[in-house]
Structure 1
């Protein structure tokens, strides 16, 4: 890359130097030509002042090249009607044509200093003509010198231009090499830092560079590296959660299947003959199959909420009647544990799926009752707040340890595995709650003190966008 930057800089500089040299050459040549024209006008003014009309004009004209020290200069005296009276290069004036149509003559007649470049019909060479209108003698005085174009000045300037060009090129090479180095070196350093991403915990050390664009690259790569590391950590965490999920799911399904198989084998062996005991075994088998059904349904619900594959029917859900239905299903459990339930529910509706909201309330209220102390209390509050449905379920139960608060929404995570086995459940309740809240782009918070109870707060948008 350093070579590429160097050569591209050299090409740009070479083109710039070439153009500047050409423009400078043209401008200097033009200035020199203008100086030549001014000098010729000065000669004509001098000639006008020294011209003696009483003497032979031809002799005076022929002497002028020596006077001005330029043997190549040609002097001509022309009348106002275009007649040539004298010419330093032509002895026989009679063979010279009428000059009234010459551009420089016409410009002089108009009161201006005439200038023209053309091929001389008499000498058959290209000449630069400059004319002057003599008011004293009512004549047009003309001087001409051989002129082959601006190239004559270019030849004079070429050596100095070449020297300047070579010096400028050497300076340009030095500057291009330094510039290429200042660009390539930071990019190499940035590349080295990027390679650190392969390390387990990379620490990036980007310098402050003189070019803002390179600093942007360094900043961007650092941010991207952080994002990639974060994504990798997230993938690793998800991998661990997946492994735990399959392990827990297998265990949760294996336990009831083992119980069912044990009851069936006992009855097949003929050991159990009492009909009452057989009926008890059938009830237990039915209960275990119901537990498996609940577990599989919960797993499917979590999966659908995560992938958002299932078609969800939305409708206006009135929260107070739905809360009454949910509490009715927990009435027996609450009475058995002597749990007092207090309700503070304002009339509020939410545009959502009835089954999902019912499942959310079932899990929050069910946990508040199951993990409460006998004679405890559950407080339920619902209201509309800033165009959101606010749900609060507080209990006076066992509480959740601080170190477990970050994990309670994981699938199959249990704070107290021994207690959970006695209480029952699939271990997916709070995971379902979290996925439902996320499905509606809502929020959920937990506050808990061990031995004093927990408070679950949920915010869901009233209207689905």
Structure 2
């Protein structure tokens, strides 16, 4: 990178020098040309005031100094030329002659047809004698003067080139050195695991780079922590899932072995064993279905079929299903549900209602109350399920939405469940980009409120 910076500086210098040299050359050329023209016009004014004999005498003098003096009539006929004794060619169409006849004086640069040299021609019109007096000198621009200046120019060029090279080297070092320090700091830091610190630099661009790297390092650290947490969650999930599946399987295998070996022969006991097998099989099926539901909801590619659903019909159907449990605990279920329609997956809506109502019943007290309210708020359906049950300790309230988390381990052995109910509810709420709130006090009860943006106000006829 240092070499590239130095090379860029040198190329920039050379281009700038060449451009500057071209401009300087053009300016000097124009200044030199204008000076030559002014001098020649001044000489012509002096020659114009002389008589014919004096003009010819001056012509001889000018010839010795390699200057041409030509006198031309208004019709273009050359009546005198100090370089050639006789010129038959008409000079009326010469540019400087035309300018002199039109404006009083003229000037041009071209190669002479007679001497085959480049000349600077200047001409003035003598109105008194009705003739054009023209003076021409060999003109090579500033080439001759430039040869004199060339040694000084080369010295100046070499000094400037050396200065630019030295400065570019110093600047390249000042730019590259901080980058090397930044690179060394990155290599010696465990990215994502350690906080990275950089020196303060005078260049705002480098400060932007270091700030961006520090921000990226913090983001990588957060992502690594998140991955570690997800890893722990997966490990806990598989551990809990295997444990939850192993329990009913062990029970099924035990009862099946008793029946297979005919250890139990009493028909009533056999029926009781079969009932246990069926119940554990149903529990295991529910557990597998819940696990699959959570897995689907966590997948970014999961797409569920939607339809227009009557919330009241879903709620009435579920309450009928919980009738036996309600009567067993002598619960008072209070329902306040508006006649709402939502556009969602029916299985999801049933899953939300079922898990929340099931928990409100299972973890309630005898003669308790379950209040269910469902109403519209803008485009959102608000569902609130409140119970008068045992409540959830403050330290467990953030954990109850985790998979397989059970608050009261001892009571969980008595109360059936997969430990996935609230986790499924949370995943469904997130699937619909809604929100969920939990309020609970021990021995007072629990209130869970959902807000889902799935409400529809008009139902299509088809």
> Do the two structures share a fold, i.e. TM-score over 0.5?
yes
Paired residues of 1:61 and 1:88 also in contact (CA < 8 A): yes
Structure 2 Cα separation of the partners of residues 6 and 398 of structure 1: 77
| Alignment partner of 1:52 is 2:51 | yes
Residue in 2 that maps onto 1:144: 136
| Inter-partner Cα distance in structure 2 for 1:450 and 1:171 | 83
Q: Give SS of 1:117's match.
A: strand
Match in the other structure for 2:59: 61
Alpha-carbon distance in 1 for matches of 2:321, 2:111: 118
2:394 to 398, 402, 420: 402
Do the aligned partners of residues 217 and 308 (structure 1) sit closer, same or farther apart at CA in structure 2, a change above 3 Å counting? closer
Q: Distance in 2 between matches of 1:344 and 1:355?
A: 22
CA deviations on 1:407-449 (whole Å, 9 max, x unpaired) are 2222112222221121110111111111211222222122222
Partners of 1:121 and 1:276 in 2: CA distance = 139
2:293 aligned partner: 301
CA distance in 1, matches of 2:219, 2:228: 14
Aligned to 2:269: 277
Unaligned runs of 5+ in 1: none
Q: Is the 8 A contact 1:380 1:393 kept in 2?
A: yes
Cα distance, 1:454–1:170 mapped onto 2, change above 3 Å: farther
Instruction: Look up the match of 2:111.
Output: 119
CA distance in 2, matches of 1:134, 1:239: 107
Is the Cα contact below 8 Å between 1:29 and 1:153 reproduced in 2?
no
Give the one of 226, 245, 248 matched to 1:253.
Answer: 245
Deviations 1:31-67 (A, max 9, x none): 2112211221122123223x124x454223223578x
More displaced stretch, 76-85 vs 26-35:
76-85
Counterpart Cα distance in 2 of 1:194 and 1:448: 48
Aligned counterparts of 2:57 and 2:147: Cα–Cα separation in 1: 36
- CA separation of 1:258/1:235 partners in 2, compared to 1, >3 Å: closer, same or farther? same
Distance in 1 between the 2:233 and 2:111 partners? Answer: 97
Task: Give 1:363 shift.
Answer: 0.3
CA 1:177/1:381 → structure 2, altered by over 3 Å: closer, same or farther?
Answer: farther
Residues in 2 aligned to 1:407 and 1:196: alpha-carbon distance in whole angstroms: 39
Higher mean Cα deviation, 257-266 or 354-363? 257-266
Deviation of the 1:343 alpha carbon: 1.9
Q: Which moved more, 1:380-389 or 1:5-14?
A: 5-14
Given the alignment of the two structures, is residue 432 of structure 1 paired with residue 435 of structure 2, yes or no? no
Question: 1:361-380 counterparts in 2 under 5 A?
Answer: 361-380=353-372
Partner Cα distance (1:112, 1:409) in 2: 105
Supply the RMSD in Å over aligned alpha carbons: 2.7
Query: 8 Å contact 1:379–1:394 — kept in the other structure?
Result: yes
CA gap of 1:26–1:306, structure 2 versus 1, over 3 A, is: same
Q: Does 1:75 align with 2:69?
A: yes
2:442 to 407, 431, 450: 450
How many Å separate the matches in 2 of 1:255 and 1:14?
Answer: 84
**What is the CA distance between 1:206 and its match in structure 2?**
5.0
Structure 1 CA distance, aligned partners of 2:419 and 2:368?
Answer: 23
Q: CA 1:174–1:138 in structure 2 vs 1: closer, same or farther (change >3 Å)?
A: same
Q: d(CA) in 2 for partners of 1:268 and 1:95? A: 142
Say whether the 8 Å CA contact 2:120–2:137 is kept in structure 1: yes
Q: For 2:455 and 2:188, how far apart are their aligned partners in 1?
A: 47
Match of 2:282 among 270, 290, 293: 290
Residue-pair matches, total: 456
Alignment pair present for 1:170 and 2:162? yes
1:95 CA drift (Å): 5.0
For the residue of structure 2 that corresponds to 1:141, the secondary structure is strand
Change (3 A) 1:84 1:184: same
Query: Taking structure 2 as the reference length, what is the TM-score of the superposition?
Result: 0.89
Check whether the contact 1:196–1:204 (CA below 8 A) recurs between aligned residues: no
Q: Check whether the contact 1:17–1:168 (CA below 8 A) recurs between aligned residues.
A: no
SS at match of 1:110: helix
2:379–2:453 CA contact under 8 A, matched in 1: yes
For 1:357 and 1:33, how far apart are their aligned partners in 2? 95
Q: C-alpha offsets along residues 15-36 of structure 1, whole Å, 9 cap, x if unaligned?
A: 2221221222122222211221
CA distance in 1, matches of 2:331, 2:181: 67
Partner of 2:341: 349
Q: Distance in 1 between matches of 2:144 and 2:437?
A: 91
Q: State the Cα distance separating 1:284 from its structure 2 match.
A: 1.4
- Give 1:198's match in structure 2, choosing from 184, 190, 197: 190
Cα distance between partner residues in 1 of 2:154 and 2:314: 95
1:459 and 1:15, CA in 2 relative to 1: closer, same or farther beyond 3 A? same
1:305 is paired with a residue whose SS is helix
Query: Which is worse superposed, 292-301 or 110-119?
Result: 110-119
Change (3 A) 1:150 1:367: same
Q: CA deviation at 1:279?
A: 2.1
